[in-house]
Amino acid sequence: MRLSLAALGLTVCASCGELTNQDLFFAEIVPDSAELTASLPASDTQSTRSIGRESEAFLLSLQTSRDSSQLIEDTLGAVETLPRIVAPSIRETNARVWGPFFDEHSNGYFFLEVTQLSENSFDFCVRFSSDEIPAAALGCRTIPTQPELQLAVAGNVIYQPDGTREGTILLQLEDLLELQFNLSEDRRRVSGQLLNEAAIEYEYEESIQDGAVTFALDLEDDFDRSSAALEQLEIRTSWLPTGGTGTTTVSGGDLGQSTLSVTECWSPSGIVSYESIAITDMPPSIQGDITTCPTLSIASR
């Protein structure tokens, strides 16, 4: 679901009015999507001393991180712009509400509320619903969870005079997915889980100073297909702009007491330079040069 500013254009004029400096102050509280999205490398030039293929653990780490980044970008994309050009629907001494706005692309309504709790502490929320809610009933504090509520983003932000922000933002998509974003001066952290029957959890943490990333993914599924028994997949990766390392393990289910473990190292573009494949009680199969592996801490959960 992408909230389109162009699709909102016809509705925006109905709420047109004069923006005050205080309105803009509240609008600036909401984090830009760029502050929450992962800083991910692009592929893709081969390095020397490589095995010649991209690391599957690295690719899955990147794809999972990109998917969560795209979701928050799609959600906050229009919200980043509208409060700066459209007057709020409701003004209170310590709060502003924008919306509800109809989004043709998503065929639903969304609104934004920002509430000042203290001098530097603010709550905000963005909600998308298939049904319109009267402006008088809007509010992060007053709307209960409803079947028609499809998407919600809520958070608390500490806003410093120099413009830096720290806080926790929670994104929930129906009863399917939950993402938590933790933003601080020196790092960005995302953790997520599927809320339905699939057992999937992941964490992404990035150092803003040097770009070091740790990533963890846990997934339960029937990978072996020999029977209906479920195996547990665990991926732990870490990387810098100069390269990375990671371990993938599969255990349980049809593997019984055995564990399959794959350790990889890769170049800045994700090309594998070292690989070790090991199964319990068997000697490992090794390719590549272990001296190409960077010294990094592997993520843990």
Would you write out the chain's pLDDT as a tens digit for each of its 301 residues? 444 443 444 344 444 568 999 999 898 888 877 777 777 765 444 444 455 688 888 888 888 888 888 877 777 776 777 788 889 988 999 999 887 777 776 677 778 889 999 888 998 888 777 766 554 444 554 444 444 556 678 788 887 777 677 888 888 776 677 888 888 877 778 888 876 656 788 898 988 778 888 999 998 887 777 777 888 899 999 988 888 999 999 998 888 888 999 999 998 888 899 999 999 988 999 999 888 888 766 555 5
Tally Cβ neighbours within 10 Å of residue 172: 18
CA distance 169 to 191: 11
CA distance 158 to 175: 28
Helix (H, G, I), strand (E, B) or coil at 226: coil
CA distance 191 to 203: 4
CA distance 138 to 99: 9
Output the CA torsion sign for 54, 58, 64, 70. negative
- Contact (Cβ atoms closer than 8 angstroms) between residue 62 and residue 40: yes
Residue 301 lies in a domain: no
- Residue 51 belongs to domain spanning: 9-134+145-292
CA distance 243 to 274: 12
87: β partners: none
Give the count of domains, the chain.
1
Residue 298 lies in a domain: no
CA distance 261 to 4: 44
Residue 277 lies in a domain: yes
Residue 300 lies in a domain: no
Residue 152 lies in a domain: yes
CA distance 173 to 150: 6
Residue 76 lies in a domain: yes
Query: Look-up: residue for tokens 């004069």?
Result: 18
CA distance 42 to 243: 12
Residue 299 lies in a domain: no
- Contact (Cβ atoms closer than 8 angstroms) between residue 233 and residue 17: no
Residue 297 lies in a domain: no
Tally Cβ neighbours within 10 Å of residue 215: 27
124: β partners: 114, 155
The strand pair at 95-103 and 177-183 is best described as unpaired
**Tokens at residue 228, please?**
């209906």
